[in-house]
Chains A and B, each alone.
Chain A
Amino acid sequence: MLSHLAFGDTGWGDELATGVFVTASLALCTLPIGLFAGFLLSLAKQSGDRLLFVSANVYTTIFRGLPELLTLFLVYFGVNSALKSMSDATGLPDIALSSFVSGMVALGFVFAAFASEVFLSAFRAIPKGQYEGASALGLGYATTMRLVIFPQLIRIALPGLANLWMNLLKDTALVSVIGLADILRQAQIAARVTREPFLFFGTAIGLYLALTLISSIAIGGIDRWSKRGEAAR
């Protein structure tokens, strides 16, 4: 039975390995977009600008409340049908989002909504005196942010962001539903062909567990790095 998992023509090992690669690259491609958008949203939520504040909160309410699968379908079918009607109207050649890009966009939307809340509470945990101290030293806004606020922000936000990363990694499995050849998709194909669903879905779960295990080791490393200054205190 385990010969099904062999690499090469006889087994499904190499297919599953490419699935791992697709899953990991989707999560890794989404992460920077989600982090950046989430950070901007958290700035918007604490700005004095009312329009910006309300818009950012509407964003969070929508993308935190919608099922990830529904967001994914809305992006995949909605954006693609909008693109199609646009290219029909203008006569330009058809462009369509692939399932990978749709997954990146949808999961990035969701990640940003949650990340903005994590950043927001991290910002609030930094005492006002830090800004005042930096200002007393004559540091400008950008320098204060880079040297004073950001290092503390990362340290405080890291556990929350680590959680979101784990969710992101698991949510990539949803993109298999719109045809992305990730771990779950490959396992599904293999299960259908070999009629061994328990073996292949079990293996898929094992692969996801391995990915989360590797992630938690890596996050532990980042955590120690972000706290490297604390020992001196």
Chain B
Amino acid sequence: MTDVFVSSSAPDTGTRRRIGPAGIVFASVWAIVAVGIVLYILRNWNPDLFSRYGLPYLEGLWVTVTLVLASFACGAVVSLPVALARMADTRFVRVPAFVFVYFFRGSPLIAQIFLVYYGFGEFRAFFETIGLWWFFREAWFCALFSLALNSAAYQAEILRGAIESVPKGQWEGGRSLGLSRTVIFFKVVLPQAMIVALRPYANEIILMIKASAIVAIITVYDLFGITRQAYSRTFDIQTYVWAAVLYLVLVEVLRRLTNLAEARLTRHLKR
């Protein structure tokens, strides 16, 4: 694909350059940055840093992963009714679902987390009477709550798009076999929709991993929280570099896994 465009867009230059000045400059910038970081780390090599923060970093990574997985799962549960409501025939059902989705997608996650973590504290008496104060007192649960609802709004849109991408004939075919609407939805439409939704879902998990760094601001010690703590004690920028490496590895592993999962899910479509 890439080469098709290049050969057609530059017909007047005749020969195609393999290596030009722009490429050398860009690659040199990367080389300088990489060498700079390596030199910095070697010059400030500190075995104490690793013995002190090595384990906390891995624990932070674990908090990030579990938080993201838990909120993704809760979001998935919430997203199904929202997606169905978005596709409902009656306005009365459709509009609230739209407002839910618009609210969570139209404002920053960090503001939503602040609203839950700081704002819900105002209603402490109310939450104590309904017995939910233990939940909203903990930063971790507040993070889970906001991430899950935020993700539910995004997942609802993914799900809706995927369900609408399944041709109407599948519904009609199911009906002609005498299947009930519920059975058609769960056994015929949803499995086909999932193939379409896989990539957007994987994207959503990656976006959540990135967004979950925000929970460090409300004192959850996830990977970013530990990093901030390590930096504030050492003022050593390599604490951030190591966090960056861990995040990149996490995202890259997920991307590879998605490709595997897609190959597996669509194996019946390959000839």
Contact = CB atoms under 8 A, between A and B. Distances in A.
A28 interface: no
Interface residues on B, range: 35 or more
A46 to B, nearest CB: 5
A209 B26 contact: no
Interface string B92-109: 000000000011001111
Interface in A37-56: 44-56
A184 B108 CA distance: 9
A173 B11 CA distance: 46
Contact of A140 (B12, B107, B224, B241): B12
Q: Is the interface of A mostly helix, strand, loop or mixed?
A: helix
A164 B106 CA distance: 12
Nearest to B212: A67
B125 to A, nearest CB: 13
B19 A51 contact: yes
B8 A52 contact: no
A208 B112 CA distance: 11
Contact of A52 (B26, B114, B118, B237): B26
A66 B244 contact: yes
A2 interface: no
A67 B108 contact: no
Contacts of A191: 118
Contact of B19 (A49, A58, A70, A187): A49
Contacts of A69: 213-214, 216, 224
A67 B27 contact: no
B4 A128 contact: yes
Nearest to A68: B210
A43 to B, nearest CB: 9
Contact of B108 (A54, A135, A140, A173): A173
Interface stretch (B49-57, B77-85, B176-184, B247-255): B247-255
27 contacts: A46-B2, A46-B6, A49-B17, A49-B19, A50-B19, A56-B26, A65-B210, A66-B244, A67-B210, A67-B212, A67-B247, A70-B224, A70-B243, A70-B247, A73-B228, A81-B237, A128-B8, A140-B12, A166-B106, A173-B110, A198-B120, A198-B122, A201-B119, A205-B112, A208-B111, A209-B103, A212-B106
Interface of A: 44-56, 58-59, 61-62, 65-70, 73-74, 77-78, 81, 123-124, 128, 131-132, 135, 140-141, 144, 166, 170-174, 176-177, 184, 187-188, 191, 196-198, 201-202, 204-205, 208-209, 212-213
Interface of B: 1-6, 8-12, 16-20, 22-24, 26-27, 29-30, 102-103, 106-112, 114-115, 118-123, 206, 209-214, 216-217, 224, 227-228, 231, 237, 240-241, 243-244, 247-248, 251-252
